[in-house]
Chain A
Amino acid sequence: MRTIDATLRGAVAGAGDDLTLTLDPAFQGLPDAAHGGSVLALFETLASRRGARTVRGHYLRRVPLGVPLVLTLTHEADALGCRVADHTGAVLVTGRVGAAETTDGKSSDAPGADAAPLPVSLTCFACGIDNPHGLRARLTFDARAVGGAWTPPAEFRDHDGGLATIALTTLLDEAAFWLGALASGESGMTTELTVTLHGDPIAAGAIVVVGERAATRPRADDPRGCTRATRRDGRSRRPRSPSRP
């Protein structure tokens, strides 16, 4: 069995700081585009940083799947910078992995038992029912929150009992997408993702992802809205606009 972490690492070819990135179609978010959570997890993986850390992604354009892209790394004193561009040189995503920027550990409860299901898709990495490598997450919502519990299958675990970070970044991105969709009645591409890991993820039982609907608010520079999802232990993500199912 190939782990999802191995599939993600296998997307990168070359050596040094000038690399080629070809994302597996399994990492789809919106049709014909990578899931924001998968790109963020790639940056986190490339940094090979342990302990508390913050991963940021700024998405400028759609990131295509199955297409060779130019991945450039920049080493700062205590951080790794990442940039993905297409063959024309157009920058698609920039990112940074550095020391944890927050110790916020606020948590909240998942939607109640009477929560309504959110739609699923066919091939989305998070919710796709026909994506054999995806999470197949089933999120719900009620008047207060969006969220759900997800139990990692073997593909998302490593031999030390660790949990692939891509599971967390994807669940958060997904929850935030639905927060934005519920607030606006529209969908859109993620433009900003920020996730703080308070430690190395452990695959022990179900992962609960929660996003408070009351925390969804418009941004002055974007008429579409803003969402924020917080995992039970405080990992969070802030897109400027909703992302994907």
Chain B
Amino acid sequence: MRGAARRLVTGLLALNPPDVVRRVFPAYCA
């Protein structure tokens, strides 16, 4: 389901370097 990770990624970006999150969820870290 596209969009499922949106809420999760928002939280992850507050804790992790953007590159770390982008490697897994590239569509949410443009």
* B25 CB to nearest chain A CB (Å): 6
Chain A binding surface SS class: loop
Checking B5, B12, B16, B20 against A186 with a beta-carbon cut-off of 8 angstroms, the contacting residue is B5
Asked if A30 lies at the interface with its beta carbon under 8 angstroms from chain B, I say yes
Number of B positions contacting A (CB below 8 A): 17
Task: Answer yes or no: A119 CB below 8 A from chain B CBs.
Answer: yes
Asked whether any CB of chain B lies closer than 8 Å to the CB of A59, the reply is no
Q: How many chain A residues touch the partner (CB < 8 A)?
A: 19
Min CB–CB distance B2 → chain A (angstroms)? 7
A182 interfacial by beta-carbon distance below 8 Å: yes
A31 to B5, CA, bound (A): 11
From 218 to 245 in chain A, residues with beta carbon under 8 angstroms from any chain B beta carbon are 224, 245
Collect the chain A residues with CB atoms within 8 Å of residue B7's CB: 31
Mark each residue of chain A from 28 to 55: 1 if its CB lies under 8 Å from any CB of chain B, else 0: 0011000000000000000000000000
Binding site for A on B (CB under 8 A): 1-2, 4-5, 7-8, 11-12, 15-16, 20-21, 23-27
Across the A-B interface, the 9 shortest Cβ-Cβ residue pairs:
A187-B5, A119-B16, A119-B12, A187-B8, A186-B4, A186-B5, A181-B24, A119-B21, A119-B20
Q: A118-B24, A181-B5, A185-B27 are known contacts; what are 12 more A-B pairs with Cβ within 8 Å? A: A116-B20, A117-B20, A119-B12, A119-B21, A120-B12, A121-B11, A121-B15, A178-B24, A185-B25, A186-B4, A187-B5, A245-B12
